[in-house]
Amino acid sequence: LLASEWLAAELDAIGIPAPSTGRMQDFGGGMRNVLGEIPGREPGEAIVIGAHLDHIGPGNGIYNGADDNASGTGAILEIAKAFVASGKQPRRRVVFVWFDGEERGLLGSAAFVKNIPFADETVVMINLDMVGMLKRDTLKIYGATTGGAVLDGWLEAAKEGSGLLLEKSEIVNSNSDHANFY
């Protein structure tokens, strides 16, 4: 609960509004997702950018802490700050969500997809899990080929000038929050 309170305060401080349903999405057992959004210029479509905020697993070899998943939490905060700093409103609604209960069985993302706090169609879900577990010059993107040419174009444009190599994989593992969106 302390992590969710801290995230809520950070989102307020950087000027990311909460959805009309509220900043927190409680779903039982003392667990809750943390939400923020930037309204889009055109209604109808949303992009969800998520990571899990819990990192205490069942003790079965999970990499607790910085790599899993403070890295995803921090990455989303930086993305949110960049959106605010740009001063531009995106075409689609951008929803930032930090899922609770991932380590206990993807509980937060399951609760989110059962009770999506907006009417727009989710056209892309970007899950940032274990961002710190990568090679310094390479970014591995699972499910990169599932979005067709449009997603590939976005990835190529985003990497331009970064010095990163993209390792695109068609594999979509079922062990993290994106699985519930499928």
**Is 102 marked active-site?**
yes
Query: ∠ at Cα 38 (33, 179), nearest 5°?
Result: 45
The residue behind tokens 């959106």 is 83
Which has the closest alpha carbon to 180: 102, 87, 90, 88? Answer: 102
Catalytic residue among 5, 102, 103, 121: 102
C-alpha to C-alpha distances, 85 to 6, 18, 52, 82, 98, nearest whole angstrom:
21, 18, 24, 5, 21
Q: Where are the alpha helices (DSSP H) in the chain?
A: 2-14, 70-86, 107-114, 148-159
Which has the closest alpha carbon to 39: 150, 117, 152? Answer: 117
User: CB of 151 within 8 A of CB of 144?
Assistant: yes
- Kindly list the catalytic residues: 102
